[in-house]
Structure formats: C-alpha cells, structure tokens
Structure 1
Amino acid sequence: SQEEIRAVGGLGVIMGCISNEDAGVREQALNTLNNLAMNMANQEVLQEYIPQVVRTIAGSDAHPDVQVAGLRLLTNLTVTDQYHGQFAGTLPDLWPLIDSDNTQLQALKLFVNLSGNADMKADILSLPVASSFLRLLEAEGSVEVTSRVLFLLKNLAATTRAADEDGAEPGSLRALLLDGRTEVCASVYRLTRHEDDGLRETASSVLGSF
C-alpha cells in the first residue's frame, strides 16, 4: 500500500531513480511519483524533493518525456499553495519550458497554479519574456494552450494594475503586461470571437480583469 511504501522510505528510493542515466528510468520514476502524489500524506514527503525535480527537468539537455513527467508531478504538487514556497528561486529555470512545444502546455499548467498564489506573483512577473509570447494568444493555436495563457494573464492582471510608479524591468512579463497592455487586450479581445465556447468565455473574463 502507499502507506507501507512511505513508511519504509520508498518515496525517497523512487526519487533517487530520477538521477538514473537512463531517460526511460527517470521518466518512469517521475510518473510513479506523480501517481503517488495523489495522496496528501505522500505530498508532504515529496515536496521536499521539488528543487531536485526542477534540476532534473530544467536543463537544456533534459529528455522531453522526462521534462513532461516532471512537470506533471510539480503541477500535482501545486494544486494547493501549501508547498509553493519550495519553488523559490526555481522559476527562472522552469519558465523557458513554456517556449518548447513538447513542454509548453504542462509548463503553463504549473505556472497557472503558482500564479494563483499572491506570494508568487511578483517573481513570475519579473521573469523575462519576448514579445512573441503573445503568439500564444493567436486564434489558430491550441485551445488548451491558449486557455492556460488566458488563465495566467487573469491571475496576474490585478497585480500589474497595482504596479508601483517606478514601472517594470524592461523585457519582463510585468513590462509586457504594462507597456504592451493595449496589444495584450487586443489579442484577448479577438479571442472573444473564437469558435470555442469555453475559450470565448475565458477571454471575456480576462478582459474584465484588465
């Protein structure tokens, strides 16, 4: 049972496998841990390993399947904000995973969870972002990806409205949402006419946040 696995230190043993040289072993270990993370008592143990999981998946040479498996685990551990503090200092390593087609959706799910925590918003808004980020709001893109970007923007919108008078670091997500607010709102507005009902509703809700 899961209780027995936890009692004999099995979670730590499985976690040790994410450092295995074989990408298949790393992926399977992360998938197993993700399944075990459905148990709240297991989450209490697994949260201590969040920085290790980030190191495993954040490198440019990390296998895409390993990255996705790790992101699923991290997303599962961030459904509530109880363990968000373990992500302190790791966001710059995780953020680039949004740029990869293989990891984009799962990385966005993770950041949507984290952005719901007021204590994490400033760190997220300070992350570097290119103007191409707005391409994720194009109507022709994946509905799943676009909807997650909208949820992320909605979570961050109120914070950017309350930005201090000194402005934002150039090239940051905060700068994009402040200085490029007109362009962002125009992109979101176009989605209010999207053929997908859910996406239209979400886009309308986001516009209200801005």
Structure 2
Amino acid sequence: MVQQERAARTRQDLVRAAAEVFAQSGFTMASISTISKKAGVSTGALHFHFASKQALARAVEDEAAAVVRAIAGPAPDGGPHPLQRLIDATHALMGRLDQDVMVRAGFGLGSALPRREDAVDLRGVWQDWVEEVLRDAEREGVLAEGVSAADASIAVVAATVGFELLGAHDRTWTSAATLVRFWELLLPRLAAADGLGRLVSGGTPDTVPDRV
C-alpha cells in the first residue's frame, strides 16, 4: 500500500512538472530531462510511469479536461438562469486558467504544432457546452428578441477562446475585470429585457473563484 501511494505521488509530481514545463516552453521545446529534473526523479523513473513525452502531454490534457468538464457541467434541477450559468462558468474557467498551470498547459498543448493525434480538444469541449447552454436559453425564451443561440454562441466562444489565447502571454485578458467589461457590453444585446436586471456580470459569489 505504501509503495502504491508513493508511485501515485510520483506520477502526480511528474504530471505537475510536465504541465509547468509545457506551459513555459511549449510541447516541442520541452524535454524529458527537464521534466524529470523538475519532478525530482530520474529519467528512468519517468519512463516507468510514462512511455513518452506524448503520454505525459495526454495526462496533462486529461487533468485539464476534468476541470473544464466540472466547470461546464450539466444544469442542476432548479438551477440558475442559463445566461447566469454561462457568466459564472466563464469566470470559473478564466480563474482556473489564471491560477492553475495544469489547465493553462492543457489548453496550450491544444495549440502545439504539429498537432498530436491523441490530443484532447479542450476548446471543443468548451464550445460544445457554450452552445448547449445557449440552446437552453433559447428554449426558455431568455435571449433578446432576434438573437439566436447559434449567433450568440459565435460571439461567446470567439471571445472566451480569444481571452484564453491572449491570456497565455498577458493575464489581463483572463482577469475578472476583463470578463465583467465583456459581459456588461454583451448582455444588453444578448438577454431579454425582463431578465437583464437579474444577471450579475461579475458572476455569483459561490461559483466564482477568488482572484487577485
């Protein structure tokens, strides 16, 4: 049992080290020796857990995907307004991109060229969820007159993916202040007038991480 716990801890240390190296150097420039050194293990120990750099990248992406899927989860029964769910999720995602190197590296790996065949499409996961929530909003009649879920999805996905990409070099793009400004600009065009006043562009307190 102790040996299994140690092996699990070593594996997690390697995944964390890989995320840090990938986030800093990119997939192509990252080396097995740098990752193993950062994790405090030998390259032989690394290869015991991961056959290749590609396998490490997939492990990082899988952990990042678990975070994204937790943020972009199914609507709870009697849950909040669909647009508030969307606002809250954007704040939660950008907060994790700002604070969590695993999530940041997972998205960054999706931009690496040449693209790996087994890469996890985190942006695709996010896009699918945004489209689903906006379809819910359309069905519930809470979108502004003349606004379709398809058109709204284009604006929200393009903006949030843009924030994620730009935020890799300038964290201002993933800041809460940037998101508030985005939602304050978009919501009057996106939300039906009778529900607009109930929407909180800064996100609801229990769903948005504290950020500096």
TM value normalised by structure 2: 0.29
The structure number with the bigger radius of gyration is 2
